[in-house]
């Protein structure tokens, strides 16, 4: 009994001593950080914008692509420097396609060291899901020893989801790397990946390149892909997408032209060329390229399968030129029951889904809502959770005032993905139909189900305070701060930007149609400019700078 009592007292004494040591060490470390924090460069203010793809990219001038060059951070730097001359603003876009708040924070640590920002703007959490949960802490969490243990555990969790900065291998990618088979199929699309076993060795590098592209490491993604092309002669379509979204459309088209010259038997390259020309608005060139492809289709690998994609592309071309009868005629002739189509399922989107989606889009343009609904519902059934199809089906319901059907659709994708973005999409629907009173409870449910929302902001606040960096947190456009404060509470040293009404003037012009799969709604180039102007107002007031007349 005495031994047990002595052991218990020893454990208590050790914990108390450790608590004192950690408390003193923490006090000393904070003082050291305060003293060591580097002052901003004279005459320059460095801003780090963090978040997901709504920070990373926006629609381009054509309305066809999402690019970093039109994002709100890119436009914010220009606006801040145009509106005053007292200091120079530099804005680093640290947004990440497909990122979560956890991966955003991991990336933040390296970015702070490299960029030494004076201010951080955060708009994050939209991609967080219940599976991203950080460990819960019990009632004694106020003890510094427990906080230390929790921080160490959390750091290990973050590092497992780390965003890598050196060129990684497939094995070294984080466990949660945000790359799905759906996303890979959308961009790979090369017949030889399915028919030539020698190309299979390239798949790991193709996935790595897609990951690097998603986290805005375009130059690294390009480096990986050029190596793959040199070694395996595949990866052309993916690299063309990287170049196009990096605002290099001429290089993208030249690359596909090179692929056609080297591998005239792979007809999908000709499909990709027509798509790039369509995105650039070069209708005459697109029609000529399509005619060349049609003339050569008998010589292609898997000609029946390629013919299906040529038909879909021809229908899209007719739709974009307003020739709806021709588009409908072409679609009705498309045969998705092609020989060997199962061979390509890992490298191409399902052709049945693509056909129904194109029918749905065409009927939507024609105002034939029942037919559009039927085809889009089938497309969603074939590929559940495909955001572009879900979004367009929601628009069909909205045109017909089918609130219950759209709410059911939104709840379906919410149950499928569970992300905060889907909660906000449902909240936007409630706004549209005047049911704002349902929104707070909906976001409460999101906060309860997604613990990373509050935990990530807590960690962000601590990091900004420790490094003496000003922190600005802002809400996603169309929603108020009362919802944001449910997971990003008011705190000393943190200012907030209310974006609830920033898009009120023209929401249909400011929101970009979500053609990128599984995405929360992005902004058009004009929308990103409006948002950047609103953010600039806050920053200029924060620094009490005089604006130019």
Structure tokens at 62: 């054509």
Which pLDDT does position 70 carry in this prediction?
92
Write the burial class of residue 113 (CB in 10 Å: 0-12 exposed, 13-18 middle, 19+ buried).
exposed
297, 306 contact by CB (below 8 A): yes
Give, for 91, the enclosing helix (H) or strand (E): strand 88-95
Output Rg (C-alpha) for the chain, integer angstroms: 26
CA–CA separation, 304 and 333 (whole Å)? 12
Instruction: Indicate whether 327 belongs to any domain.
Output: yes
Q: Are residues 67 and 122 in the same domain?
A: yes
Tell the residue number behind the tokens 């690299």, with chain if given: 239
Which pLDDT does position 486 carry in this prediction?
96
Q: What is the CATH number of the domain that holds 231?
A: 1.25.40.10
Q: What is the CATH number of the domain that holds 477?
A: 3.40.50.1110
Mean pLDDT across 436-441: 95
Please say which residue of 349, 381, 408 terminates a domain.
349
221, 242 contact by CB (below 8 A): yes
Q: Are residues 27 and 63 in the same domain?
A: no
- Measured in degrees and rounded to the nearest 5, phi and psi for residue 535 equal -65, -40
Instruction: Indicate whether 454 belongs to any domain.
Output: yes
pLDDT over 70 for what percent of the chain? 81
DSSP 485: T
Number of domains making up the chain: 3
What digits encode the pLDDT tens for the residues 329-385?
999 999 998 877 788 888 898 999 999 999 999 999 999 999 999 999 999 889 887
DSSP 436: G
CA–CA separation, 291 and 314 (whole Å)? 10
Instruction: Indicate whether 131 belongs to any domain.
Output: yes
Instruction: Indicate whether 517 belongs to any domain.
Output: yes
Indicate the pLDDT class of residue 323, thresholds 50, 70 and 90. very high
Instruction: Indicate whether 94 belongs to any domain.
Output: yes
Structure tokens at 47: 């801003």
Q: Are residues 57 and 29 in the same domain?
A: no
Q: Are residues 263 and 302 in the same domain?
A: yes
Instruction: Indicate whether 266 belongs to any domain.
Output: yes
Give, for 195, the enclosing helix (H) or strand (E): helix 191-195
Indicate the pLDDT class of residue 191, thresholds 50, 70 and 90. very high
What digits encode the pLDDT tens for the residues 102-155?
888 887 888 898 889 999 999 999 989 888 755 444 334 444 454 444 434 433
CA–CA separation, 414 and 253 (whole Å)? 38
For 233, residues 6+ apart whose C-beta sits below 8 A from its C-beta are 192, 199, 262, 263
What pTM did the predictor assign?
Answer: 0.72
Q: Are residues 22 and 51 in the same domain?
A: no
Q: Are residues 321 and 342 in the same domain?
A: yes
What digits encode the pLDDT tens for the residues 263-308?
999 999 999 999 999 988 899 999 999 999 999 999 999 999 999 9
CA–CA separation, 58 and 60 (whole Å)? 6
CA–CA separation, 46 and 41 (whole Å)? 8
Asked whether the CA dihedral 138, 142, 143, 146 is positive or negative, the reply is positive
Q: 51: which strand partners?
A: 95, 123
Query: In this predicted structure, which of 23-37, 210-224, 227-241, 419-433 has the lowest mean pLDDT?
Result: 23-37
Q: Are residues 315 and 214 in the same domain?
A: yes
382, 350 contact by CB (below 8 A): yes
Find the helix packing angle between 236-245 and 268-279, rounded to 10°.
Answer: 10
Which pLDDT does position 441 carry in this prediction?
96
Q: Are residues 304 and 203 in the same domain?
A: yes
Q: Is the pLDDT of residue 1 over 80?
A: no
Indicate the pLDDT class of residue 518, thresholds 50, 70 and 90. very low
Q: Is the pLDDT of residue 161 over 90?
A: no
Q: Where are the beta strands (DSSP E) in 275-379?
A: none
Asked whether the CA dihedral 57, 62, 64, 65 is positive or negative, the reply is negative
Asked whether the CA dihedral 188, 194, 195, 201 is positive or negative, the reply is positive
Which pLDDT does position 23 carry in this prediction?
44
Residue 525 is part of which domain span? Answer: 44-157+446-542
Closest listed residue to residue 185, CA positions, set 355, 391, 344, 384: 344
CA atoms within a 13 Å half-sphere pointing along the CA-CB vector of 394: 23
CA–CA separation, 500 and 22 (whole Å)? 42
Closest listed residue to residue 44, CA positions, set 92, 8, 10, 9: 92
Indicate the pLDDT class of residue 261, thresholds 50, 70 and 90. very high
Please say which residue of 329, 349, 369 terminates a domain.
349
Tell the residue number behind the tokens 């040199």, with chain if given: 230
Closest listed residue to residue 238, CA positions, set 179, 307, 162: 179
What digits encode the pLDDT tens for the residues 32-62?
333 333 444 568 999 999 999 899 889 888 7
Which pLDDT does position 24 carry in this prediction?
45
Which pLDDT does position 162 carry in this prediction?
38
25, 75, 116, 499 from 79: Cα distances, Å:
43, 6, 21, 18
Which pLDDT does position 141 carry in this prediction?
40
For 94, residues 6+ apart whose C-beta sits below 8 A from its C-beta are 48, 49, 50, 51, 55, 104, 107, 108, 111
Closest listed residue to residue 427, CA positions, set 442, 416, 444: 442
Instruction: Indicate whether 101 belongs to any domain.
Output: yes
Instruction: Indicate whether 371 belongs to any domain.
Output: no
471, 460 contact by CB (below 8 A): yes
- Measured in degrees and rounded to the nearest 5, phi and psi for residue 470 equal -65, 140
Please say which residue of 349, 365, 383 terminates a domain.
349
Q: 44: which strand partners?
A: 88
Q: Are residues 129 and 260 in the same domain?
A: no
418, 419, 430, 442, 487 from 438: Cα distances, Å:
18, 18, 7, 6, 18
12, 82, 145, 146 from 140: Cα distances, Å:
14, 51, 10, 7
DSSP 133: P
266, 259 contact by CB (below 8 A): yes
What digits encode the pLDDT tens for the residues 90-100?
999 988 877 78
What is the dihedral angle through the alpha carbons of 162, 165, 166, 169, rounded to the nearest 10 degrees?
40
Q: Are residues 111 and 210 in the same domain?
A: no
CA–CA separation, 327 and 343 (whole Å)? 28
Helix (H, G, I), strand (E, B) or coil at 59: strand
Closest listed residue to residue 123, CA positions, set 440, 487, 533, 530: 487
Structure tokens at 291: 């005619």
Q: Are residues 146 and 258 in the same domain?
A: no
Q: Are residues 202 and 117 in the same domain?
A: no
């Amino acid at each position: 009994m005495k031994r047990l009592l002595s052991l218990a007292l020893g454990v208590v004494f050790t914990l108390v001593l450790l608590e004192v040591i950690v408390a003193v060490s923490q006090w000393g470390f904070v003082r050291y950080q305060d003293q060591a924090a580097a002052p901003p460069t004279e005459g320059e203010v460095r801003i780090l914008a963090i978040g997901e793809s709504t920070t990373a990219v926006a629609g381009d001038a054509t309305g066809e692509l999402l690019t970093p060059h039109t994002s709100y951070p890119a436009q914010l730097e220009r606006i801040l420097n145009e509106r005053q001359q007292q200091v120079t603003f530099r804005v680093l876009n640290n947004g990440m396609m497909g990122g979560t708040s956890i991966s955003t924070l991991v990336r933040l640590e390296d970015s702070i060291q490299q960029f030494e920002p004076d201010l951080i703007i955060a708009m994050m959490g939209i991609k967080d899901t219940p599976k991203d949960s950080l460990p819960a802490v019990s009632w004694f969490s106020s003890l510094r020893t427990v906080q230390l243990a929790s921080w160490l555990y959390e750091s290990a969790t973050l590092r497992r989801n780390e965003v890598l900065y050196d060129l990684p291998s497939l094995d070294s990618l984080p466990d949660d790397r945000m790359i799905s088979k759906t996303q890979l199929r959308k961009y790979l699309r090369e017949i030889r990946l399915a028919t030539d076993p020698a190309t299979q060795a390239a798949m790991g590098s193709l996935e790595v390149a897609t990951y690097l592209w998603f986290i805005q490491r375009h130059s690294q993604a390009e480096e990986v892909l050029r190596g793959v092309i040199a070694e395996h002669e595949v990866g052309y379509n993916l690299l063309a997408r990287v170049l196009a979204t990096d605002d290099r459309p001429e290089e993208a088209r030249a690359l596909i032209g090179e692929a056609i010259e080297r591998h005239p038997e792979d007809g999908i390259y000709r499909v990709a060329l027509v798509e790039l020309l369509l995105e650039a608005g070069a209708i005459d060139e697109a029609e000529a390229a399509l005619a060349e492809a049609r003339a050569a289709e008998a010589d292609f690998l898997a000609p029946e399968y390629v013919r299906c994609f040529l038909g879909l592309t021809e229908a899209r071309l007719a739709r974009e030129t307003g020739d709806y009868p021709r588009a409908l005629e072409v679609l009705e002739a498309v045969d998705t029951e092609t020989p060997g189509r199962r061979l390509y399922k890992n490298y191409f989107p399902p052709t049945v889904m693509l056909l129904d989606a194109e029918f749905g889009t065409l009927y939507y343009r024609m105002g034939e809502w029942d037919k559009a609904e039927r085809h889009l519902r089938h497309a969603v059934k074939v590929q559940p959770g495909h955001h572009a199809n879900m979004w367009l089906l929601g628009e069909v319901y909205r045109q017909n005032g089918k609130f219950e059907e759209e709410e059911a659709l939104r709840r379906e994708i919410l149950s499928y993905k569970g992300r905060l973005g889907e909660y906000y999409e449902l909240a936007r629907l409630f706004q549209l139909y005047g049911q704002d009173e349902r929104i707070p409870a909906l976001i409460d449910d999101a906060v309860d189900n997604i613990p990373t929302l509050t935990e990530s902001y807590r960690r962000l606040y601590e990091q900004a305070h420790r490094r003496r960096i000003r922190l600005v947190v802002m809400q996603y456009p169309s929603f108020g701060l009362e919802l944001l404060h449910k997971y990003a509470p008011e705190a000393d040293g943190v200012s907030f930007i209310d974006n609830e009404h920033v898009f009120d003037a023209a929401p249909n012009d400011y929101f970009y149609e979500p053609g990128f799969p599984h995405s929360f709604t992005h902004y058009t180039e004009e929308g990103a400019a409006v948002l950047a102007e609103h953010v600039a107002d806050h920053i200029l007031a924060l620094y009490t700078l005089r604006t130019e007349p």
